[in-house]
Amino acid sequence: MTTDAPPPPPPTGGPGTHRAQPTTEQYVEVQRSADFGELRRTYRSFAFPLTVAFIAWYLLYVLLSNYAGAFMGTQVVGNINVALVLGLAQFATTFLIAWLYSRHAAAKLDPKADAIKARMEADL
């Protein structure tokens, strides 16, 4: 009597379940391509300026909070002061940037990335 377990079943799934993987050389070739360079430029031209602008806006808020207490304490409406308005604007700015990036990625980045991916998969 043997206690050997039966071999595992073969993988299930339709054709294309096990795709060949690109080689390191193929990835390097794609990275050096003009299309990939354009994709990176498109990403950087959006992300870097917005990141710098947001950090500057955040640092302005921090500096005003530390060194302009009288200004930040100015009442706007009732008990709502400038500090609260600017603090809530930080959250609004964060969501606005996320929404803008989502639109930018869908319109500009995703089509370029999909084209690169399709060419790379076609070579396999």
The verdict on residue 104 lying in a domain is yes
pLDDT at 122 over 60: yes
> 89 lies in a domain?
yes
Q: How many domains does the chain have?
A: 1
* Structural domain boundaries, residue 113: 34-122
Q: Does residue 19 sit within a domain?
A: no
Tell me: the pLDDT tens digits for 18-56?
A: 667 888 999 999 999 999 999 999 999 999 999 999 999
Whether 53 is covered by a domain: the verdict is: yes
The reply to whether 4 falls in a domain is no
How far is residue 45's CA from residue 84's CA, in Å, rounded to a whole number?
Answer: 32
Question: Is there a domain that residue 26 lies in?
Answer: no
pLDDT band at 123, cuts 50/70/90?
confident
Could you tell me the pTM of the whole model? 0.74
Q: How many CB atoms lie within 10 A of CB 45?
A: 12
Dump pLDDT digits (tens) for 81-103: 999 999 999 999 999 999 999 99
113 in a structural domain: yes
